[in-house]
Amino acid sequence: GAVVSQHPSRVICKSGTSVKIECRSLDFQATTMFWYRQFPKQSLMLMATSNEGSKATYEQGVEKDKFLINHASLTLSTLTVTSAHPEDSSFYICSARAASGKLNEQFFGPGTRLTVL
């Protein structure tokens, strides 16, 4: 149980294009989903917290107009990187917290490697 999937696992795009990453909780309902970014040999940095049906809360320094987050249902959240540039190349990881059970358990997706040329 507690499986989180991400799609795509890897994406390469040209500078200036937009990329959408999906995060799904496969066998549980997630009231809250989190989006992280991880640069090589660095830790996971929280970008935003997304609650179903409401606007995402962004961490300081993260541009909300560049990283659009939609949490339309209890099993799906999407992150859209708009007008991507090479400096946006990174490993993007989502996590989901179950609507029931232990409130502070987060289950992570496998990550999406974004490369912007």
Partner 1 sequence: EDQVTQSPEALRLQEGESSSLNCSYTVSGLRGLFWYRQDPGKGPEFLFTLYSAGEEKEKERLKATLTKKESFLHITAPKPEDSATYLCAVETGANSKLTFGKGITLSVRP
**Torsion sign over Cα 79, 65, 38, 95:** negative
The tally of CA atoms less than 13 A away on the side-chain side of residue 12 is 1
Build a one-symbol-per-residue string for 50-89: x at contacts with partner 1 by CB under 8 A, - elsewhere.
Answer: -------x--------------------------------
Strands, DSSP E only, in the chain? 4-7, 10-13, 19-25, 30-38, 44-51, 57-58, 67-73, 76-81, 90-98, 106-108, 112-116
Build a one-symbol-per-residue string for 2-31: x at contacts with partner 1 by CB under 8 A, - elsewhere.
Answer: --x-x-------------------------
Among 1, 65, 87, 104, binds partner 1 (CB under 8 A): 104
Minimum Å gap between C-beta 117 and partner 1 is 19
Minimum Å gap between C-beta 61 and partner 1 is 13
Among 8, 15, 53, 105, binds partner 1 (CB under 8 A): 105
How many Å apart are CA 35 and CA 112, to the nearest integer?
11
Build a one-symbol-per-residue string for 37-56: x at contacts with partner 1 by CB under 8 A, - elsewhere.
Answer: ----xxxxxx--x-------
